[in-house]
Amino acid sequence: MKRHRSTAAIFSLLVMGLGQLYNRQFIKGLIMLAVEAAALMYFIPNLGRAIWGIVTLGEKTQGLEKIGKISVRVEGDHSIFLLISGLITLFLFILFIIIYIMNIRDAYRNGKQRDEGVLPASFRQTLAYVTDRNFPHLMLTLPALGVLFLTIMPIIFMVMLAFTNYASPDHIPPAKLVDWVGFQTFANLLTLKTWSHTFIGVFTWTIIWAVIATVTTYFGGLLVALLIEQKGIRFKKLWRTLFIIPYAIPQLISLLVMRNLFNGQFGPINQYLGYFGMGKLPWLTDPFWAKVTVILVNMWVGIPVSMVLILGVLTAIPKDLYEAADVDGATGIQKFRIITIPFVLFSTAPILITQFAGNINNFNVIFLLTNGDPVKGDYQFAGSTDLLVTWLYKLTLNNSQFNMASAIGIIIFIIVATFSIYNYRRTRSFKEEDMIQ
């Protein structure tokens, strides 16, 4: 009785689609045969070279070769192209294997149906089945492929780069080859004096910045929200709309405008300071003041978001809590301290951590406003206000220190992941406690 299922499965194992043909599902079988043929045509010439490329990163350096009397330039292996095309081939191969396994399982299942005396589904029935039972998979296929090739593959590639010596000036293809070096990059980052000095400096400033930026925008937003929601304040909607404007203007524009506002020589801010009899401040050119400017501007950008969130929380506080407090004779300040603040803090705590993680990666504010400057002489390719992310950007695009940049990217990921996982756990426990809602 088990005849059909095992025969069909074995057929499909041998050649994709053969089991389906055996099950008399001709259209499906033919489609699968075509897929297999295409796959074989692609993988036979490419797969071996892909693995060789990833393992060796190329063996032949570009150089001059004597052919007869003239020397001819011979193209060498391009390590980076080899790595990336190897990765793409491997990804496609894994996809192919998954489809292959699915094909065997399909043949087995349909064979089993035949053993039980049920006719295998026609092509139309199969389509109907797929759109019904496998609806979520169908919906997710396209996005998943996009994410696989445009996010996962690039991230794996960059993680791999951290373990190579892909950096200017000695290891830039196509002129030179790149090699695997293990943890050497990380070791250099932490022990070589020039690198470790920059790393510790930039790292410390990143953390300080993230803490200050998060705290200032959060409490600024809280203050503004409370001001608007006070009893007796009119035109609440107008105030809210006015205060949301900084959030509505694209950061690209507002930050570039800010850069001019704070211009040390001609900017209006210094001009106004002059009216009040104060001297000009080096807003963007002095290491300390540049940090102050960045934080001030970030408050301008970030407070509206916190304000919107906290306004939402404030309207969600049950009114009967306040009424009960009134009955007990609580004063306004007491109500504020005992009801409002705990409620707001409690329901926005997860956002606080998300914002902290976001600020660690706050590329726009730093890059557009100061570009990481003012330059610091004893730093490797970084300035006084550079965060780890902007440093990473400069290392990649301006200085071609790709391996170092990747190592820093991995470190940023570890920091952010730690906070996010902690946050995720806590939010979970929040929800399970059901203290709110």
Partner 1 sequence: MKMGRKTANVVRLTLSYLLLIAIAICAIYPALWVLLSSLRPGTSLFSSSLIPESFTLIHYKELFTNPSFRYGAWYLNTLKIATLTMIFSTILVTLSMYALSRFRFRGRKMTLTIMLVLGMFPGFMSMIAIFIFLLQLNLLDTHAALIIVYSAGAVLGGFVVKGFYDTIPRSLDEAARIDGASHLQVFVKIMLPLSRPMLTYVALTTFAGSWVDFIFARLVLRSKDNWTLAVGMWDLVNSYQNSNFTLFAAGAVLIAIPITLLFVFLQRFLVQGLMSGASKG
Q: Which of 32, 177, 210, 392 binds partner 1 (CB under 8 A)?
A: 392
* 435 is a site residue for partner 1 (CB under 8 A): no
Instruction: Report the C-alpha gap between 223 and 242 in whole angstroms.
Output: 15
Q: What CA–CA distance (Å, rounded) separates 75 from 317? A: 70
| Residue among 80, 177, 294, 365 that touches partner 1 (CB under 8 A) | 80
Give CA–CA dist 230/75, Å, rounded: 73
331 binds partner 1 (CB under 8 A): no
From 151, 204, 331, 334, residue interacting with partner 1 (rule: CB under 8 A): 151
Question: How far lies 428's CA from each of 39, 193, 424, 425, 433, in Å?
Answer: 44, 43, 6, 5, 9
Closer CB to partner 1, residue 9 or residue 225? 225
Longest dimension (CA), the chain: 104
348 binds partner 1 (CB under 8 A): yes
Helix, strand or coil, per DSSP, at residue 37: helix
Which parts of 109-138 interact with partner 1 (CB under 8 A)? 131-132, 135-137
Contacting residue, 52, 247, 289, 343, with partner 1 by CB under 8 A: 247
CA dist 246 and 365 (Å) reads 13
Residue 185 is a binding residue for partner 1 (CB under 8 A): no
Q: What is the dihedral of CA 331, 336, 338, 339, to 10 degrees?
A: 120
301/221 Cα distance (integer angstroms): 11
Does 274 engage in binding with partner 1 (CB under 8 A)?
A: no
List 43, 93, 157, 343, residue binding partner 1 (CB under 8 A): 157
52, 93, 149, 289: which one binds partner 1 (CB under 8 A): 149
Contact between 284 and partner 1 (CB under 8 A)?
A: no
Q: Between residues 26 and 235, which has the closer beta carbon with respect to partner 1?
A: 235
256 binds partner 1 (CB under 8 A): yes
By CB under 8 A, residue 302 contacts partner 1: no
Among 48, 63, 274, 312, binds partner 1 (CB under 8 A): 312
Q: Tokens 């109907």 appear where?
A: 128
Exposure class string for 179-188: b at 16+ Cβ within 10 A, else e: eebeebbbeb
In whole angstroms, how close is the CB of 398 to partner 1 at the nearest point? 13
